[in-house]
Structure 1
């Protein structure tokens, strides 16, 4: 009898585990929680976790977040997605900060047929030719053109230069798109200077830029290196303006750059806590974030992490199923969905169509100036 009882207990345990598995929808998150991009990746994860806290169930089932660190490394990014799919059996995935990491993980997800929504991976190659990769962000041709349009149309600058991290796909792509758009508008690119990730001394590049006398320099850097460039430019007496892109949208840039970042401009998504007018989703997100993180201001990375979760839940709800293929089909049909970073519609290349914002550092604080309509 004891042996029979043990067998029955084992059977019941298996049935219970199977039932529990059927009763849970797993969403994987692979992001940069350590390494070079950890600050942005951590903010995105916290945004996703906040959305999950607000919406813990869908279709009457509990949603479980399974988080894996991609360590800001391409190989680790592929390994992280592999683990989420093969070991954790997730229904869908969110991530990641960093286009090169998204591309590495995307290849794994594509072969497995698991849908992914990228957070802030803006390089066009992330979704190119992919059936299962989507993103909550706009793409770099749009962003580069937005920076060029603002510099030429709003600021009236006719001469520009670029300072590019040649070891970073994000930076290289953005500089190319900025140059193309600026020249098409009628502007002149007077210099194209380069550096590599990890460089600490930009004296040579900045000295040459000063000699070329541009009105503005496009700096598509990550915020830590960008802050160093801005500090050294001030020390050298540079008089031109700087404009960057969304990777500079980080609260720490003022801490790192001090008064050298005053007047710095960058493109971003249409969300910032300094916005005078917010849509209802953005207002709710800001209020919820401030309650959970009273010592840390929200930024666009956190907003995009939040938006990705909202988009997935919406897709699962509309699909009436958590089957990966059905989630994919529903994501493809996303249209006019209210999100923190504006109304989101998925286009035919799986890129989010939404507004672009422009931010300036004023008095040591980020100030949202408004939106831009890029001329491409």
Structure 2
């Protein structure tokens, strides 16, 4: 009996040691990627859609190999609240979370506010849809996968000339808001360069009554309104223009490619056009695969669908969010490292076919882009109009 007890004890100890050894050999390593996006504030709706693209990309590619070892990629998500005064605190939280690279943000102003913090921590950031040129200017740690506002402003100026033979444009944006004021300026300059006339106005933050601005556009005899602004204001501009019987086409940039704009335009006769980065009806292999997979992923989770605006329309910012994540993965693989400085130094070597086009960085932090998609909001859906290049 004692002999049997001894054998059982030895066997139990052996199994215990084997178990410990197995646990040690299969221990997983983790790499953290920060998601710096608005989930609240003026740009909360767009920020959620951009984040969805990153989350879906993480579900498609949840691991990365570094030095022959597999790392689980974990997203650390913070809400920058669409506010430049809140952005630094959110950015610092990601630094404290020891992320290797950051994705975002929807909204150029918050990206610029956070840039010094990421740079000081030597953590590279990859923007998805932050289009203001200043995001990457003199910021060696900031990159982005979208086109930029001088190009987008030129694209929309060319579009309204071609589409409406517009000679007079009324430009409206929020006072002091980096994205809107910058894009408004680039559009106005490009439109005037093509021989057009411009009347520009800016509304203060918190404005809810746009009736006077709409009447100013009508009185001016504008052929087109260009109103780059956050979706919360865009919804009011569209609904109040419709109530005023305004027949002037209203145009804006990428921010307006949102379910919020579709809801505001639905049931009206207003013509609303936006420039954007992607069309879900693109039939090319990479894009088509992304669209079908993303829609299935959205519809499988009620919270994801809610964050997308309650539908499974594929927003361009979701496609850009996906590309931003995949860009980070490519840079990590090239760097073969989890260190921010190494990943930043690997970024110029990134070159792959993303869902929004080829992604590479031949001229610093901005991805090379040559044209934009123009879409029309029409009774609950965005209809593809054309691909448009900028003015020559």
Scaled by the length of structure 1, what TM-score is found?
A: 0.89
Q: 8 Å contact 2:266–2:378 — kept in the other structure?
A: no
Aligned pairs for 1:159-308 (under 5 A) are: 159-189=168-198, 191-260=199-268, 262-269=270-277, 271-273=278-280, 275=281, 277-294=282-299, 295-308=311-324
What residue is the counterpart of 1:3 in the other structure? none
CA distance in 2: counterparts of 1:109 and 1:138, whole angstroms = 22
Residues 83-113 of structure 1, C-alpha deviation per residue, up to 9 Å, x if partnerless? 211x211111111111111111111001111
Q: Residue 338 in 1 paired to residue 353 in 2?
A: yes
Greater CA drift, 278-287 or 91-100: 278-287
Aligned pairs for 1:68-217 (under 5 A) are: 68-85=78-95, 87-189=96-198, 191-217=199-225
Q: 8 Å contact 2:104–2:127 — kept in the other structure?
A: yes
Count of matched residue positions in the alignment of Structure 1 and Structure 2: 354
Residues 8-29 of structure 1, C-alpha deviation per residue, up to 9 Å, x if partnerless? xxxxx9xx99x968x2211111
Unaligned runs of 5+ in 1: 1-12
Q: 8 Å contact 1:95–1:102 — kept in the other structure?
A: yes
Q: 8 Å contact 1:279–1:342 — kept in the other structure?
A: no
**Two-structure CA RMSD over aligned residues (Å):** 2.0
CA distance in 2: counterparts of 1:262 and 1:203, whole angstroms = 15
CA distance in 2: counterparts of 1:210 and 1:313, whole angstroms = 49
Residues 268-288 of structure 1, C-alpha deviation per residue, up to 9 Å, x if partnerless? 11x122x2x332222122111
CA distance in 2: counterparts of 1:349 and 1:204, whole angstroms = 43
The structure that has the greater radius of gyration is 2
CA distance in 2: counterparts of 1:41 and 1:95, whole angstroms = 9
CA distance in 1: counterparts of 2:312 and 2:355, whole angstroms = 18
Residues 95-145 of structure 1, C-alpha deviation per residue, up to 9 Å, x if partnerless? 111111111111100111110001211111111101111011111111111
What residue is the counterpart of 1:43 in the other structure? 49
CA distance in 2: counterparts of 1:253 and 1:348, whole angstroms = 34
Q: Residue 327 in 1 paired to residue 335 in 2?
A: no
Scaled by the length of structure 2, what TM-score is found?
A: 0.85
Q: 8 Å contact 1:316–1:330 — kept in the other structure?
A: yes
What residue is the counterpart of 1:55 in the other structure? 61
CA distance in 2: counterparts of 1:209 and 1:308, whole angstroms = 38
Which secondary structure does the structure 2 equivalent of 1:58 belong to? strand
Greater CA drift, 293-302 or 137-146: 293-302
| Ranges of 4+ aligned residues in structure 1 off by more than 6 Å | none
